[in-house]
Amino acid sequence: MGPNNGRRGAARKGVLLIVGALAISSLFAAPARTEDAQLVRGKYLVTFGGCTDCHTPGHFFGKPDTARLLAGSDVGFAIPGLGGS
Ligand code: HEC
């Protein structure tokens, strides 16, 4: 055992830690990317479909409350057979 063995051992441990962390993070990277793609697709569909128009408070009064985007309408109109009322 030379005087540098302790430091070299610590360096090797550090490399192993980094490789381990990369291996673990790559396990989670793939699902996250799929989720991102789904979020982008969902946002596209909701924007394209104009869902915010009827489902955001204030929209029908010309002042959509962007802090409560898609939080539901304060105008009480309903589609028969849909929803509780
Ligand atoms: C023209 C206005 C309008 C637009 C645009 C609109 N909605 Fe709705 N939505 C309604 C109304 C009215 C109801 C029924 C509410 C009720 O009967 O209580 C409803 C109900 C719903 C429900 C069912 C809620 C429940 O409690 O069962 C969902 C989910 C929904 N809308 C999603 C969407 C999505 C997604 C879009 C965009 C693609 C969209 N809406 C666009 C007016 C609209």
- Residue by residue, pLDDT tens for the chain (85 residues) are 555 556 777 777 766 666 666 666 666 666 678 889 999 999 999 999 999 989 999 998 899 998 999 998 888 777 888 766 5
What was the pLDDT predicted at 24?
Answer: 63
Mutate to test the pocket of ligand 1, among 46, 47, 48, 51 (most ligand atoms within 8 A of CB): 51
Q: Is 69 a pocket residue for ligand 1 (Cβ < 6 Å)?
A: no
- Output the CA 60–ligand 1 centroid distance in Å: 14
CA distance 55 to 68: 10
DSSP 3-state percent helix, strand, coil across the chain (nearest 5): 65, 0, 35
CA distance 74 to 17: 54
What was the pLDDT predicted at 80?
Answer: 85
CA distance 37 to 43: 10
> For atom 1 of ligand 1, which residue has the closest CA?
54
> For atom 18 of ligand 1, which residue has the closest CA?
83
pTM of the model: 0.66
CB-facing half-sphere around the CA of 27: CA atoms within 13 A: 5
What was the pLDDT predicted at 45?
Answer: 95
What was the pLDDT predicted at 29?
Answer: 61
